[in-house]
């Protein structure tokens, strides 16, 4: 019953998710790309029609050498770097399928960068949400009172005044 209910909720919300996550932003971007509107112009994006320039942005883009340089670098990465990385990964995968002396050490050396980055990010997140950390300090500035919330350990979050 619970699984069936979850499927029904998914099916009912899918059209809204598709509209708000992909279709609506795509249409807004296409609309804005046909104007000279900028977020710094002081007007909101629905008034972008006042800065209408049709396809001038696209013709400027096609005439810009930086676009072609960026496309050339992208093609280089796609044609040269990606196959090299693929072959290197495939070679390492086949190498580590066999047993050899020092396999654990080499395996640890290869996996270390993948493990260190999430550990550092987790520690930073932990430090941000300490009761005397920056998040509580910013909330203290906005509320005008001392906020000391044990964000990661309290079952119920309460303001302490």
What is the pLDDT of the chain when averaged over all its residues?
87
Residue with tokens 């800065």: 51
Look at residue 2 and give its three-state secondary structure: helix
Instruction: Indicate the pLDDT class of residue 69, thresholds 50, 70 and 90.
Output: very high
Is the CA virtual torsion 105, 106, 109, 115 positive or negative?
negative
pTM of the model: 0.46
Tens digits of residue pLDDT in 82-121: 999 999 999 999 988 988 898 899 888 988 888 888 889 8
Measured from the Cβ of residue 149, the count of other Cβ atoms closer than 10 Å reads 19
User: What is the residue extent of each domain of the chain?
Assistant: 1-61, 129-161
Q: What angle do CA 126, 129, 130 make, to 5 degrees?
A: 85
Dihedral pair phi/psi, residue 30, rounded to 5°: -65, -40
Instruction: Indicate the pLDDT class of residue 158, thresholds 50, 70 and 90.
Output: low
List of E strands, the chain? none
Residue 47 has a pLDDT of 82
Tens digits of residue pLDDT in 13-38: 999 988 888 899 999 888 888 988 87
Residue 110 has a pLDDT of 87
| 47 compared with 104, residue with greater pLDDT | 104
Q: Between the CA of residue 138 and those of 71, 126, 129, 157, 160, what are the distances in Å?
A: 42, 16, 11, 16, 15
Instruction: Indicate the pLDDT class of residue 67, thresholds 50, 70 and 90.
Output: very high
């Amino acid at each position: 019953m619970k699984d069936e209910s979850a499927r029904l909720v998914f099916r009912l919300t899918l059209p809204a998710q598709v509209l708000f996550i992909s279709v609506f932003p795509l249409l807004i971007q296409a609309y804005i790309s046909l104007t000279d509107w900028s977020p710094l112009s002081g007007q909101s994006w629905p008034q972008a029609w006042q800065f209408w320039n049709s396809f001038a942005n696209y013709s400027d883009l096609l005439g810009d050498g930086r676009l072609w340089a960026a496309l050339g670098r992208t093609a280089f990465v796609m044609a040269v770097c990606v196959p090299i990385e693929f072959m290197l990964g495939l070679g390492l995968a086949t190498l580590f399928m066999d047993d050899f002396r020092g396999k654990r050490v080499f395996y640890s050396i290869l996996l270390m960068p993948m493990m260190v980055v999430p550990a550092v990010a987790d520690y930073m997140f932990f430090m941000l949400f300490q009761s005397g950390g920056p998040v509580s300090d910013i909330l203290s500035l906005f509320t005008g009172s001392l906020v000391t919330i044990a964000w990661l350990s309290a079952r119920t979050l309460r303001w302490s005044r």
